[in-house]
Amino acid sequence: MSNIDPEYNIEQIQNLYQGNNIVHNTVNTDNFTTESSFVNKIWKYYIPAINKIFLVLYLILILIVDLYIIIKNPNLTFFWAIMLFVFSIYYLGCFLVENRGLKKKLEYAHVGNLDYIILILIIFRNIIFLLNFIPGIQLIGILIFFPLLILICIINYLENKKR
């Protein structure tokens, strides 16, 4: 007739009804883990996997394709140096931060809409970095960036001259 758990004694039940929420009950913790059972798959699996795939593509382009081009035509060493510089920015600023730091912090966090947006932005960012390692694309980037940089300098100069 009684729905009372036999592990509780009368004193513990009276404490519950009197507002003293002191119930000493042993719980078997063998089946529990210290970490949450919820896993944010975006930060634990998807983002690190995407970054590793693009890292392998970058290394293939830099160390095989582009290095072969440099050996055949040493005049393009400047462009290879740019590629190495951009690769170091990607590796230190993106790959290590996301795959070691942010992964550990966010792998048990709640998945929100922002995580999906970040995933899409990371894919686009990695594609843009990939384009840097294709030699012809660098020339297009320099042709776009250099005039833009000069335009920003001229605007800044004119704004400071007005003051």
Give the Cα separation of 105 and 98 in Å (integer). 10
For residue 40, what pLDDT is reported?
84
Q: Which helix (H) or strand (E) holds 105?
A: helix 103-106
For residue 90, being part of any structural domain is answered with yes
For residue 71, being part of any structural domain is answered with yes
Give the Cα separation of 140 and 131 in Å (integer). 11
- Report whether pLDDT(145) > 80: no
Residue scoring higher pLDDT (79 or 14)? 79
For residue 117, being part of any structural domain is answered with yes
- Report whether pLDDT(34) > 60: no
- Report whether pLDDT(5) > 90: no
Give the Cα separation of 70 and 20 in Å (integer). 78
For residue 160, being part of any structural domain is answered with no
For residue 161, being part of any structural domain is answered with no
Q: What share of the chain has pLDDT > 70, as a percent?
A: 77
For residue 4, being part of any structural domain is answered with no
Cα 46 from chain centroid (whole Å): 10
Indicate the pTM of the whole model: 0.61
Structural domain containing residue 61: 41-144
For residue 125, being part of any structural domain is answered with yes
Say how many domains are in the chain.
1
Enumerate residues 6+ apart whose C-beta is below 8 A from 48. Answer: 98, 99, 103
For residue 24, being part of any structural domain is answered with no
